[in-house]
Structure 1
Amino acid sequence: MNVMPDHQTSPGDLLQALLAVMPSPIATWAPDGRLLGCSAAFAALLGHSEEEIAAIGRVSLLEESDREAARERITTRGSGSRISWSFRARLRRADGEPIAAHCRVVPLVVGGDLLGDLFEVVELVDATSKGEALAVQAETYAELFEHISEAVWQMDDRRRMIWANPAAERLFGRTLVELQRTPMQEVLFDEGLRGVADIRERFDTGQRVPRRIEARIKRPDGEVRWLGGSLFLKPAPDGRFGTSWIVARDITAVKERERALTEMATEARQQALLDPLTGLGNRRAFDEALLACREQESPGRHAIIVVVDLDRLKAVNDEAGHAAGDEALRATAIAVQERIRAGDQAFRIGGDEFAIIAYGTEPGPLEARLARAITFRDSMPALFASVGSATVGVDSDDPVEAYRIADLRMYEMKRNDRP
């Protein structure tokens, strides 16, 4: 407020004249906090005379919680600053009742000189009505939490349950009192406990805290349920980890569907990699294993690719029928599995062709075992197989090329050693 007096009027007289006609609650204060004057509306609002207001003082007219801010404003003005403030404060009436108000403080400048502050009560706030509104709002939220289907609960910084709605009690299978008395390790599985610790660590180290959560819980009847929902963190006043609010629902049925679909997909993939006649891996499974075989190698232990081709299968089909031929293939698959070592892999990669991926240093003993006679019917002559092998890292660094070399060696044996 900037006032320009004429040369015959003192600043004090001019100020008193202005306050006398001011309809709003206004008080003027010197930079040191002394009352310069106030309007009749200000005195009436507080229920004090102007003399009583001067005696009480600028700071003591306010509620205790607002006094420190007032002292800071007095100090700032005393330094010569001409800034203005708008704020909400509570003033004390003569009868002891507080008055909530929106206030404004502007510099009081007369003739260019800073005389102090002009303090104006801009608008009264009906504290009772606001309190009632907040109470109604709180009651509405409480009723909402009581009836919604989502589980809502609050936990403190030590992972202790503070509050839970009925839906949360139903989800956990425990009352709020029981939840407050039950250790967290009796409710969450190990991965859930690690997840809670991870959230705390992320918060404390300034990392992003996930908002979506999923966890398995243990009910007192032994049933395991899945919950999924949202996490809301309310930091403590000092900025440290505070309370947590969780809004969640039972997603057990969703998780069971996901598990069933995953099992179906896994089974479908496994079936897609199996030869239905022999139960061995098929050509697709062999190709995948071939490309990955170098990952299983170790110093002095190479991948060995062995190709086995059954001799005279066409003759068996022609003489005894295709059922006998199928029986011969199954007998060959059994013999191959019996003659390889644990950890080796066997595949049927064609009509009468098999392949083995083994690991070791010397393919000779394995070739000899696989070349032995195979008996499948007493009435049928024994079967023999032509065998060829190649070692990855010795014959070729490329597993696909090593397979090609093994295949050529098998046909070379068939030409040279079999009738």
Structure 2
Amino acid sequence: MITLLIVLALVSVVATLAGAVPATVADVAEAGAWLAFAVLCLRVARREGLACAAVSVWRGLAVAGFFFTTSSLLRLGTDGEKTPPVAAAIAATAVTTVGIAVAGWVMIRYPLEVRGPPRIRMRLDLATVMAAFVLLAWYQCLPGGELPGNPAQLVANVLACGLALLAVFGAIKLLLGGAAPFTLTAGVILGAGVLIGSWSLFNMLTVEPGEAPLIEAGQLACAFLLSIAARMQYLKMHDDPTGVTRRAAPAYSRLPYLAVIGTQALLVTELALEGLTLRGWGVVIGTVVVSMLVMLRQNLAFLDNAALLKRLKASMGDLRRHEERFRSLVQHASDLTLLVGADGTVRFASPALWELLGVDPQEAAGRPIGEVLRPEDVPAARRLLDEVIASPGADIRRPLRVHHADGSSRWLEAMATNRLDDPSVGGVIINVRDVTEARVLEEQLRHQATHDPLTGLPNRVLLNEQALRLRQEPRQPGRHEAVLMLDLDDFKEVNDLLGHQAGDSMLIVVADRLRESVRPTDVVARLGGDEFVVLLAGTTTDGAVATARRILDALRRPVHVDGCQVDAGASVGVAIGSADELDALMRAADMAMYQAKRDPSGDRVRVVDRTAQGGTFPAARAPA
């Protein structure tokens, strides 16, 4: 359809300019074009997705199009007459005036995108520019400086200027307000059509008789261009259903100042050429109005600037207070705050650095972190920094063990946050807290949970953990694990005769001798009372028996408790097997121990070998 409209427009305009068609045919074509414009505007207004504010505009343009259609029909057949009927001319002019008024009203009523105080400033700018154009329209309406003798010419001039001002108003509102109820392509075509229509109206009664086709062609071009714009709006809404053109409203506009310059120049020209005619007085009044609007706008700008400066001063005061509060918090915080660049250079260090590491924070700034820490602490810090740099925006928490300048060690908890992409930071923020006391307490609690409080030996919990570790280690061919279970002979008599304190002292001595009798990799644990267990890793049957006899030899040495000599004999059960079956080994060793205790021959070592063909065998006497 858009192609058809363009073809009809070209044919009609060219034929009218060439005088190839009667005036009546041109009037019919113009009425058809205006009717097409009205119908197409209604289709746009009914299009789904169109913004609500734009719906009102396009409906109003459709109503204006019907008025323009009526005006063309009223002029039908009168253009060729030398003295057209006065009634028809007045009616056509009145209908055209109503159409222009409707179109202007919907443009004025279109809401602005700007809100608040900027809306007032924008309206003043718009009023200033439009006042300058009204002044220009006044100047054009009175070409001789006074009112034209032909009232019809005055009416035509007013209508033409009104139509032109309508186009200017839409363009200026779009420039200043940032929104228009049409797409950019449709807006450009609409503006071109309105300007051509304004020109034809303005010159309707001043052209020579031979130039009448030119005016008629202008009116045809106006009607067809507006129809093409409405169709283009409908088609462009496939891409943007809202049908609205939006652009960022400018922070300020130079148009009001250009309006002042233009009106001042027009005033000087009018006074120099014609003096204070009716048109000249109108130019003077218009210039004063434009100047007063600009002064009012400037006064608002001064008030806005004063309010802005006041808010800025208050904001700067708040910022200073926040900065002082933040500096006070950082300066007196026990936690350390570091800002480290991607290259590892310390950009900022809070005073807590002196308390934590004994390093002056001012000396640390600008130095690589490797020079701030002791050499043995650098690898862990470097790993933390590399990890957080590789993860933009990430927060990584790690425990670090570092050394103070005095040589003491500290446990720290470091939280590193990658803010390299933040222009206001541009580095890695590391918040460090001293958790040495908590770590020591944690280690103490763990030691209490995994060790016997009397002898300091591991308990069953730690024994199980060591067995689990052995399961995860690679096995050596021909090597196995062994469990040695032993308890002291006649320990109850020691408690009964000498007291429990003497018994406890004896247990402490036994624990020390057990530790001395095994390898550093072996585990000696106390199960409770006078029962002890030894876990041997990577041993053989002969090696386990040798260890058991070495323990017995150590325990045969007399023990002196509270001035009394006590013998600490024991019986040992040995079970050879795998750490995967620790419970089974302990049961087997326990049974072997009781068999050794009851052996009439006095041999206090019995062995159960669970490695031979994977079987389970009775306890046997250990080879001497």
What amino acid is aligned across from residue 374 of structure 1 in structure 2? Answer: R
Cα offsets for 1:150-190 (capped at 9, x unmatched):
4499988878899x8xxx76566899998874445556875
* Residue in 2 that maps onto 1:209: 394
* Residue in 2 that maps onto 1:112: none
CA distance in 2, matches of 1:217, 1:383: 46
Corresponding residue SS for 1:407? helix
CA distance in 2, matches of 1:48, 1:211: 69
* Residue in 1 that maps onto 2:475: 298
* Residue in 2 that maps onto 1:392: 577
- Segment drifting more, 299-308 vs 225-234: 225-234
- Cα 1:318–1:346 change in 2 (3 A) is same
CA distance in 2, matches of 1:398, 1:281: 19
- Return the offset for 1:342: 1.2
Alignment counterpart, residue 280 of structure 1, candidates 449, 457, 462: 457
- Return the offset for 1:313: 3.0
Alignment counterpart, residue 366 of structure 1, candidates 547, 568, 584: 547
- Cα 1:344–1:11 change in 2 (3 A) is farther
Cα offsets for 1:178-207 (capped at 9, x unmatched):
88744455568755555454444322xxxx
Corresponding residue SS for 1:349? strand
- Return the offset for 1:408: 0.5
Cα offsets for 1:261-301 (capped at 9, x unmatched):
33223213313443344332345544554566534562334
The answer to whether the aligner puts 1:348 opposite 2:529 as a matched pair is: no
- Return the offset for 1:365: 1.8
Equivalent residues of 2:389, 2:418 under 8 A apart: no
Alignment counterpart, residue 42 of structure 1, candidates 111, 126, 129: 129
- Cα 1:233–1:130 change in 2 (3 A) is farther
Corresponding residue SS for 2:486? strand
Where in structure 2 are the equivalents of 1:11-410 lying within 5 Å?
Answer: 15=100, 41-44=128-131, 74=184, 77=187, 80=233, 81=236, 82-85=243-246, 87-89=248-250, 90-93=252-255, 95=257, 126=301, 128=305, 131-132=308-309, 135-136=312-313, 138-148=315-325, 149-151=328-330, 181-183=366-368, 190=378, 194-203=383-392, 209-210=394-395, 235=421, 242-244=423-425, 252=433, 255=434, 258-286=435-463, 289=466, 293-296=470-473, 298-300=475-477, 301-317=479-495, 325-359=503-537, 360-362=539-541, 363-372=544-553, 374-377=556-559, 380=565, 382-393=567-578, 397-410=580-593
Q: TM-score, normalised by structure 1?
A: 0.60
CA distance in 2, matches of 1:349, 1:18: 101
- Return the offset for 1:353: 2.0
Cα offsets for 1:351-381 (capped at 9, x unmatched):
3221101112332222222232521248747
CA distance in 1, matches of 2:469, 2:415: 40
CA distance in 2, matches of 1:369, 1:357: 15
Equivalent residues of 2:573, 2:589 under 8 A apart: yes
For these two proteins, the number of residue pairs brought into alignment is: 356
CA distance in 1, matches of 2:106, 2:502: 121
CA distance in 2, matches of 1:225, 1:320: 46
CA distance in 1, matches of 2:531, 2:522: 17
What amino acid is aligned across from residue 575 of structure 2 in structure 1? Answer: A
Corresponding residue SS for 2:455? coil
Aligned-pair identity (%): 23
Which ranges in structure 2 are unaligned for 5 or more consecutive residues?
A: 1-56, 72-91, 112-124, 140-164, 189-231, 237-242, 260-296, 331-336, 604-624
* CA root-mean-square deviation: 5.8
Equivalent residues of 1:216, 1:225 under 8 A apart: yes
- Cα 1:45–1:221 change in 2 (3 A) is farther
- Segment drifting more, 352-361 vs 322-331: 322-331
Corresponding residue SS for 2:395? coil
Corresponding residue SS for 2:445? helix
- Cα 1:161–1:47 change in 2 (3 A) is farther
CA distance in 1, matches of 2:136, 2:246: 26
- Return the offset for 1:405: 0.3
Equivalent residues of 2:458, 2:524 under 8 A apart: yes
Cα offsets for 1:27-54 (capped at 9, x unmatched):
xxxxxxxxxxx98642448999689x99
Corresponding residue SS for 1:400? helix
Corresponding residue SS for 2:571? strand
- Return the offset for 1:406: 0.4
* Residue in 1 that maps onto 2:159: none
CA distance in 1, matches of 2:363, 2:391: 29
* Residue in 2 that maps onto 1:30: none
> More helix by proportion, 1 or 2?
2
- Segment drifting more, 169-178 vs 371-380: 169-178
- Cα 1:339–1:49 change in 2 (3 A) is farther
CA distance in 1, matches of 2:407, 2:546: 54
* Residue in 1 that maps onto 2:602: 418
Corresponding residue SS for 1:391? strand
Equivalent residues of 1:25, 1:45 under 8 A apart: no
